[in-house]
Structure 1
């Protein structure tokens, strides 16, 4: 990395709006003025457009960025197939969708030297990656920083750290993501994951469909949920490295590898709206009831990937952040329900207010569409008798990947040793209390 890049690498810039134009340069004068692709780009750089959507999508939905780099991306050798490890991709056809409620403990400890890519473990997903629909749920557990560079042509990656901080060294610059943050790497963006601690563990949503955006607020009005101003993009920083660098590309579910003679993270300046970003989940502005009834979990939506049916998302990212509960005559934990959406829930820290035990940080649960679920017996009994005074929920941070289609498991997730047996038992003992008046 150049000296100038080191000076700028520590910074982040606030996004002024999803879909708006942003820019950054690691060296003064690297951004051209007035033209995206001039006859000669400044400083001897190459101009290159990275398109995250079709050229003709509506302006509000169009995602693209211009990169001004030391070498064009086209200058690379042929890719060859590489092993996929525990990574799997839609369509998930090796098993049938399972209507049972399922829960997993955290991933077991990996071998020494396992980087982020080798530590990815696919739980399941839906859709068809070749048709750019659906999503996949992955977990990761790493013990070493990546030396290779990775890009995902299949979808964007929403990374949710649970243990250990990450430094994402992307084409656009550097992002720091700690537990309690989420980081998004757009489709096709090259990056490397370096560990800030001895090990790192967390979750990944691979979104094959429309890019994540902020949900519409409707009757909530102008303020609430995630604020645009809290999303941060990297400041331009580049690597000017000569020598062999392994580059891994995920394409239609398979990993392909090539050895470049230079680092592809050589973007000196950029502008556009197809950019990586990081968001602190504790900045989420929670909306809730101040009278009675438990609002639907849709009010906790941070990001949504819209589908062709308004209001029915390909995937939503939902967070259960610290908040006050003040409703009167109200059952405060999440209610018993069956949902047309399928829900994968993970826990970043602490405890979740609808579960007494067994749901731990690094673990997760899957409730596929119309699978009945809700608070366990112990939580129900406690909440039904609790004094309804203002209560602060600040001892946990949980999230959901919620999708319109059933999540089909991978065979290794269905047979995993860390799959909890007897998860259904948490609802045993919910006794009959019905007493007819006559």
Structure 2
């Protein structure tokens, strides 16, 4: 294990965040694809998040810019990966994501679906049914007709029909269709991709295509360890310094996998105010401070969600800004720290709620950000899939 080479304090970590994540003025990304590269990938489980995250990092960004990258240029691809979360990856990162994260998710999703359909009595041999259903989906998508909606697939493939009762007797219980879960498995396996959206940018009505037809080839196969190491290296470049706990959480993996990746990478240990963190060995030069900056980031933004140990930028605001299972709501940032949250009123106007006294300069900067975001949204009210307690209280 490398020796600890120097201390990286919270101020430098915030400066690195501002520069690497394209949040400080003068550090903006040129394109939405560059913005995604700067963060390894963009969160996309909540469909609005990826647009609002890109908008926060690319001056003048429009919805059409991201749509072109996703559906015309195809330099960005929606893909299920770490922690069973949907992300938008730069196309060149897909092999590492598939090997280092998605394959693990696919195995878990496949076992879960087989178990659930057998338990519900839908199929005696769940594994055989899933193989047949997957083959039928791939066959239907291979006819060259272009991206297909789930509704169209379900109408053409009877084996996708059926539902599982969950949470029986509970207020949140109900029936869950099994067909979408087949697509979840196939997407995590890298065989199909989300290749269009029939809804508005803030909704999710995916159209599906085979990966090969959409991208021109299958996702290149690499060993799991190599994929994990590349993801760790990219995370360290974007988010470093960070701890083993940060990496384990972000990857949704194990400490063993994290330590194996660190052992094959050229990394250096640094002192994080008494804790042990890691940087790539060629990234040890101190990073200077940036001018104070303001940002309004959406729920599940990759910066807010990038670390497991968040005290250096979140402080004591976990409870009002994260839900009970760890999903972040919309956040207000000043000079590298989260200082509050935001939501929209009934007219669609963005409203900032501060959790501390940040001073007149910060208040004015955040108010200007709220006005700019209100104008960009143009009256669209984004409904949060994972509202924070603060959002629930005031929205």
TM bin (shorter chain): under 0.3
Looking at CA atoms only, which structure, 1 or 2, has the larger radius of gyration? 1
